[in-house]
Chains A and B, each alone.
Chain A
Amino acid sequence: MNIDNIKKQFPIFDNKVQNNDLVYLDSANSSQKPKVVVDRIYDFYTKEFSNVGRSVHYLAVAATNLYENTRTLVQKYINASDPNEIVFTKGATEAINLVANTFGQKFLQEGDEILLTELEHHSNYVPWHYLRRSKGVKIKFAEFNSDGEVTIESIEKNITSKTKMIAITHLSNVTGAILPIKEITRLAHSKNIPVLVDGCQGAPHLKLDMQDIGCDFYAISCHKMYGPTGLGVLYAKKKWLDALPPYQGGGGMIREVKKEGITFGDLPNKYEAGTMATAQVIAFGESIKFLNKIGIENIEAYESQLTQYGEEVLRKNNSVKLIGSPKNKGSVLSFTLDGIHAHDIATILDEDGVAIRAGHHCCQILHDKLGLSATARASLGVYNTKEDIDKLNESLNKCKKIFDR
C-alpha cells in the first residue's frame, strides 16, 4: 500500500496548520475527507441537485438513483443480505437511539435487562438510559479487565433470564480493544437475545461482514469513515425492521394518510422520515469506493502495523503510560503523561501541528473506573505514517521539557 499516494488524496494535508505540517491523530473523533468525497458534494449541489424520492422530473429521478446507489454500495461493503437493511440516519447516535426507542417501545417491560459494557461511548449508554426511566428496565455493565478488554466470559456472567438486548462496542475508542463480537453474538443468540454493535470505531478500520458476525444491529458513523458529517448508517436485520415500529414520523415514510389513521411505507422509507442528508449520502458512496479501491484488508494490515509501532514508541518513553494493552487492538493510543494533564499536553502538541484529543472521550464510566479525569488520545487513520508517531513522541518530550523547567 503506497501511503504517500493515499495522503495526497486528502486536501487538508496540502495546507499548513498554524505554520506546521498537520500531524492528524484524531481520526477516532472524526476522519479527514478525501478529495473525491468533497468534490462529490460540490458536484451534486452544482450540477445534479434535487430532492429524492418524490418528484418525477429528470433531476429528481437521477438524484434518487444516486441516493439508492449508496445504499447498495453500503450493503455490499458490509455484506448485508438486502439493501433495505441499510437505513440512513443523522449519525450513529441516531441509529442507536432509533433501536433503543423502537425496540424499547415494542419489546421491553419493567425489570428487563439491557447488557452494555464499561467501555461504551456515551452514545451507546444514554439512549438506553431513557428506557430506565420510561420502562423501568435495568442496565448492566460487563466489566473490562486490566488490559482494557471485555471478554466473552465477562459478557456471559452478566446474562440472566431477564436480558433482552446486548449492546456493545466493536472497538473501544479509549483502550482500542476489539471485542469478540462474533462470539458474543453466537452466545447471545443461543439465549435468544439480540445484539447491537456500536461500530463507530470498527467500521473505519475493520473488515465488516454482517453474515459472518451475525449481529442484529450495527451502527456506523460516516464522518469517521472518510465520509461527510451529519450521516450515519443503521444496519438492521430485515426481520427487525419489519417488526419494530417507525421511529420518527413525517413525509416520505408513509403509505396512506387519512384523518382517521395512517399506514406506513415499506422499507427503507419507514425509517427515513423527512428530507434526508441527500448530498452526504451520495458523497458517502465515494467514501465506500475510496475504501474499496485501497482494500479494507490492506488498511487493516497497515494500521495494525502502525498501531504496534505507536505502542512500541510510547512504551519506550518512560514518562508515558498507555491506557490498556488489549491483545486485539485497533488504531487507538490513549495515554497519560507523568504530572501533566491531558489538556496541557493537547495544547502543547497543537503548537507543533500535532492534533490529538484530550478528555474523557465520551467514556466517563471507563475513566471513573481507572480513576482518571482525562486521558490524551492519539488515533490513527489511513493517511498516518511512522513519521507522525515519531513527531507525536518528539512533542511529548517537549511537554516534559516545558513542565520540568
Chain B
Amino acid sequence: MELKELYQEIILDHGKNPRNLKKSDNFNKDAAGHNPLCGDKVHVFLKVDENNKISDIAFEGSGCAISMASASIMTDLMKEKKEVEVRELVDDFLEMIKKNPELKSKILAEDEKTKLMSLSGVKKYPMRVKCATMAWHTLTSAMQNSNKEKSD
C-alpha cells in the first residue's frame, strides 16, 4: 500500500519529534521558507565556520508530517558538512524526489541514505512534493544568506 510507503515509521517519528527544532544560538546564516498554498513555514538557521563547514544547523517551523520530517532529517544529515557537500546533497535529494530512483551522492553512509530515502514515497503524491522540498530550498537560500522569503 502506497500510504504506508509515504508514512513510514521513520517519517512519523521525525514528524512527531522533529530533531533540531529550535532557534539556534550564534547562527550566522538563515532563511525563511513559506508555502502560501498550505501555510507551512520553515526557518533554517546555520552556523557556518571559517572552513565553510556547517558546525550547527537548526530550524523552526510548523507544517505537515512530511515537511517536518524532511526538515528534521535534513538538519540531522547536514551537520559537519562542507558547503560544497551541502550543495551536492541538496541537488541529489531534489533529483531523487523528482525522478531518480536512488540517491547518487557518495557523501552519505548507507544508513543515512536509508533515512533520507524514507521520503521517496512522496513521489507518488505530486501535491505533496513541495512539503518535502521546502526545507531543502530554504537551506539553499540560507547558504546564500538570502534572507528573502522563498515562496515555493
Contact = CB atoms under 8 A, between A and B. Distances in A.
Is chain B found bound to chain A in the same assembly? Answer: yes
Interface of A: 339-344, 347-348, 351, 358-360, 364, 367, 373-374, 402-403, 405
Contact of A344 (B9, B66, B127): B66
B65 A358 contact: no
Contacts of A403: 7, 12, 16, 65
Given A347-B128, A358-B38, A402 B63 contact: no
A373 B3 contact: no
16 contacts: A341-B64, A343-B38, A343-B64, A348-B7, A351-B2, A351-B3, A358-B38, A359-B38, A367-B39, A373-B38, A373-B62, A374-B64, A402-B12, A403-B7, A403-B65, A405-B12
Contact of A373 (B6, B9, B40): B40
B109 interface: no
B95 to A, nearest CB: 23
A373 B128 contact: no
Interface of chain B, main secondary structure: helix
A405 B1 CA distance: 15
Contacts of A402: 3-4, 7, 12
A208 B66 CA distance: 43
A343 B131 contact: yes
B41 A340 contact: no
Contact of B16 (A339, A359, A364): A339
Interface in B21-76: 37-41, 62-66
A343 B40 CA distance: 10
B92 to A, nearest CB: 25
Contacts of B4: 402
Contacts of B41: 373
Nearest to B61: A373
> Of A340, A343, A359, which is in contact with the most chain B CB atoms at under 10 Å from its CB?
A343
Contacts of A360: 38-39
Given A341-B63, A344-B64, A402-B3, A374 B38 contact: yes
A403 B65 CA distance: 10
A374 B39 contact: yes
A188 B65 CA distance: 46
B7 A344 contact: yes
Contacts of A358: 38
Given A359-B37, A374-B38, A340 B65 contact: yes
B39 A364 contact: yes
Nearest to A403: B12
B63 A373 contact: yes
A215 B38 CA distance: 34
Closest 4 pairs (CB-CB, A-B): A341-B64, A343-B64, A373-B39, A359-B38
A344 to B, nearest CB: 5
A39 to B, nearest CB: 31
A339 B64 CA distance: 10
A341 B63 CA distance: 7
Contacts of A344: 7, 64-66
B51 to A, nearest CB: 37
Contacts of B39: 359-360, 364, 367, 373-374
B94 to A, nearest CB: 20
Contacts of B64: 341-344, 374
A26 to B, nearest CB: 13
Contacts of B66: 343-344
Given A344-B64, A347-B127, A359-B37, 7 more contacts: A343-B38, A343-B63, A344-B7, A344-B65, A347-B6, A402-B3, A405-B12
